[in-house]
Structure 1
Amino acid sequence: MDGSGKTLVSVVVPAFNRVEYIRETVESVLSQDYPRVELIVVDDGSTDGTYEILLEYAEKGDLKLLTHPNRANRGQSVALNRALENASGELIAILDSDDIFLPGKLRAQVDYLQAHPEVGLVYGMGEAVDEKGRWLYNIHSPNHIEPNDPNTVLLDCYFSLPVNALVRRSIYEQVGGFEEGFRAAQDHDMLIRIAEKTRFAFIPVKVFQYRRHGDSISHKGLRKRWENGFEILRRAQARYSYNTSTIRKRRALLNYRMAQVCWRENRSFAAIGHLLRSGALDPVRALKVLTGKEKVR
């Protein structure tokens, strides 16, 4: 790998109905100071004008635009796999279509991977912003320490694979594609599988903005996300030798999250059942939450 810019970075973006944000997202990639960037966007059947905006960029040669047959909507995992299949870069960065790469993001992460060949994934700091781009809170601090333990990644998805990380292409080739049966939590599933195969590294550089808004996938698909979480946990347990305590605590957290979903859906009986299971699996943490000593966001 050559830090002077000879290494090609493929930035892949799955896009679906993001007309309000897609220009800013694309421009955040095009304005990077790293010289060799291939931008691949898969439009996943947009109907709100997103596709037409992307087509403008594609016609100027700023990005490679892909679609599914008949411009169907097939979900983010399918879109990501399509992009990865068409990517030529040695390094891969994923960017959700409503998030932002901050200036210098790619150069800082490429430089790190060049200097540390034993590392397969590098991530940094960021900030959450609202739909208008107004700052909400910081994500990670300069004193954050990467534990390099798959147990920690399984238990607590403490950083985002999309928008934050830069990953060697060889790692994706080892772990396989995104699970196309998941329309939520596929990013956590992939991050777990990557953690089982390679070392992670953290750099104290602010590299992204994560946009929080009511129309985001993470906001709308909470039930499906936590239902998928149980299946992700089952697969992880079958695939890798995780600590028994990690499996138990993760199952407790999933039950707690499902209780929250059930409360929102006015399914109080089901919510109580999940809460009881959560408390039985991890009574120490349950007590901390009940007494206000810990908040689970």
Structure 2
Amino acid sequence: MTSNTPLISVVLPVYNGQRFLGDTLASISAQQRDDVEVVIVDDGSSDDSWDIITRWTSAQPFAVRTIRKPTNYGVCAALVDATAVARGRFIAQIGHDDVWLPGHLNALADALERHPGASAAFADVTYIDADGMPANVKIFSHDKLRTSTRAELFAELLSGNFLCAPASMFRRDHFRQSFWGVSNERLQDFELWLNLLFEGSFVGSEASTCLYRVHANNLSSGSAMRRQSEYELLATLTRVLLSERFGRFYRSIEAPEERVAFLDNAHARLLNVTEYAPAIRTLHSMLLENLVALEEVWPARINALRAELALRLGMFRKYLAISKTYPAHYAESLPHIPYLVRVHDKVTGPFEALVEAGVFRDGTGVDLVRSGTVYFFACSEDEVEAHMKYASFAEAVARRRVIIFNAQATRTVEAGFALVGNAGVDHGLIDKIFRFFEEDHGSFQVHAEWRRMETPQQRTLLRRLYHRSGAFVPARYRPAVAAGVRRLLRRR
């Protein structure tokens, strides 16, 4: 660093920020450091933002570099432009509606100086409303910086961003322009954090010096730009999790038990995310396949997670292929394997063998009705008609959820699947049953998701599905759909 090189570069993207911009610029001036440069990008503002910027710039004792763009290209492009010309060892970003208290930059720079292995530092956040008054909200969780290891923090971030950009400072030598993503208008900071964690740890300054302004323009409903958010989340996680840098990060966790803990944590977080963006399930499966090649101590644990995910995706034969290559069955711990229930204690047939092979879980003694668990009945061919008088069995027949033992041939039947009397439970038979699952039932994941529907809007969707089932569901499945939705509505 020469005498002309600043220690800190402050980057400020602005778009139509005249209402709050004066407060933001004043808070930058109040930092009272002479080793600072400020890079401001006016991203095609149509209000008085540029005039406010030029008046403020002329009165500052430190270097201010301004870029005025002819049209609005978005915050990601503005940050790319600003950081491309930033010269400081450390980079701090602030929004045009946020405020820093005096000493903010000092605290973050000191934190990075004290922790040479850290790639970023964060201040604590206080929330204010449009009028600068305290706002009773909580958006970010910087307390996790003090309680989580680097690997834990990375895994927790996979569920979504909980770190505040205007409260951050990061090292320029740990940063690349690609860390912002590609046209990443919703999740550029999220992608930045994941990439910076590849480079080093995160630390907190232990001071609440960032005022984050909450107002109508920076809050959106859950459905606003939903498709774009889902796409950017998938694109971000694909770039990050399938990169060589992630592989190096994973191998850098030296203790095998810590790698397993990270793996389980990341797996659970990604499962949560797939409820918001289902396309991530495929990415999740690809990630686990990549990790099998990297893990020398615990490959069986990764394959257990692969098996679970295959079932969640309705890929029962993929689950079978995994268990063939890595002989272990995980059915008892996998919620997407259905239960098998004898209609009475004297049912003969390969019941235990099917459970042992991981095709079903033993439903004996399980409260199936209250739990809403997916289950099949097991009985002999000549007992089907006799049990139709029971409502639960009749419903299972309508939904093709009966496994018939001692049948004339192994094949799909109207009630479900039939097994010949001397059927041996081998991979060939399991493949046929799993083919039946995939073609007639798909993934059993959907039933667990429906049972979690708690809001009036979700229940309304269920009722619409019930009333429209005759319109878009193939005729053979209409009774099953109607019966299933009726049961779900009764529980509500």
Q: What TM-score do the two structures reach when normalised by structure 2?
A: 0.48
Report matched runs for 1:130-149 at 5 Å.
130-137=129-136, 140=141, 144-149=146-151
Residue segments in structure 1 that go unaligned for 5+ positions in a row: 259-278, 292-297
Corresponding residue of 2:122: 123
Describe the superposition over 1:220-271 as per-residue Cα deviations: whole angstroms up to 9, x where unpaired: 954233431122222222122573652553353353389xxxxxxxxxxxxx
SS where residue 217 of structure 2 aligns? coil
- CA contact under 8 A between 2:44 and 2:72: conserved in structure 1? yes
- CA contact under 8 A between 1:10 and 1:90: conserved in structure 2? yes
- CA contact under 8 A between 1:184 and 1:217: conserved in structure 2? no
Describe the superposition over 1:95-131 as per-residue Cα deviations: whole angstroms up to 9, x where unpaired: 1111111221111111121122111111121112111
Q: Which amino acid aligns with 1:67?
A: R
SS where residue 183 of structure 1 aligns? coil
Matched, 1:102 2:106: no
Q: Which amino acid aligns with 2:147?
A: I
Pick one of 266, 272, 276 that aligns with 1:246: 266
Query: Offset of 1:148 from its aligned partner?
Result: 1.6
- CA contact under 8 A between 1:146 and 1:200: conserved in structure 2? no
Q: Which structure is richer in relative contact order (CA contacts within 8 A, separation 6 or more)? A: 1
The structure with the greater share of residues assigned to helix is: 2
Structure with bigger gyration radius: 2
What percentage of aligned pairs have identical amino acids? 22
Matched, 1:210 2:230: no
Corresponding residue of 2:190: 188
- CA contact under 8 A between 1:153 and 1:195: conserved in structure 2? no
- CA contact under 8 A between 1:226 and 1:254: conserved in structure 2? no
Corresponding residue of 1:268: none
SS where residue 135 of structure 1 aligns? coil
1:249 and 1:99 map into 2 onto residues whose CA distance is 30
1:43 and 1:178 map into 2 onto residues whose CA distance is 18
- Bigger CA drift: 141-150 or 190-199? 141-150
2:143 and 2:160 map into 1 onto residues whose CA distance is 19
- CA contact under 8 A between 2:111 and 2:204: conserved in structure 1? no
Corresponding residue of 1:18: 17
Q: Which amino acid aligns with 2:210?
A: F
- CA contact under 8 A between 1:34 and 1:104: conserved in structure 2? no
Pick one of 214, 226, 237 that aligns with 1:233: 237
Q: What TM-score do the two structures reach when normalised by structure 1?
A: 0.76
Query: Offset of 1:179 from its aligned partner?
Result: 2.2
1:254 and 1:51 map into 2 onto residues whose CA distance is 42
Task: Report the CA distance shift for 1:229/1:177 in structure 2 as closer, same or farther (over 3 A).
Answer: closer
1:106 and 1:54 map into 2 onto residues whose CA distance is 21
Task: Report the CA distance shift for 1:91/1:133 in structure 2 as closer, same or farther (over 3 A).
Answer: same
- Bigger CA drift: 216-225 or 163-172? 216-225
Matched, 1:255 2:256: no
Report matched runs for 1:28-43 at 5 Å.
28-43=27-42
- How many equivalent pairs are there? 260
2:204 and 2:40 map into 1 onto residues whose CA distance is 27
SS where residue 215 of structure 1 aligns? helix
1:153 and 1:141 map into 2 onto residues whose CA distance is 12
SS where residue 163 of structure 2 aligns? coil
Describe the superposition over 1:45-83 as per-residue Cα deviations: whole angstroms up to 9, x where unpaired: 000111111121233346321123xx1211111111111
Query: Offset of 1:142 from its aligned partner?
Result: 6.6
Q: Which amino acid aligns with 1:183?
A: E
Describe the superposition over 1:172-220 as per-residue Cα deviations: whole angstroms up to 9, x where unpaired: 13x7352242221111111111112211112321020111111127669
Task: Report the CA distance shift for 1:146/1:35 in structure 2 as closer, same or farther (over 3 A).
Answer: farther
Corresponding residue of 2:170: 167
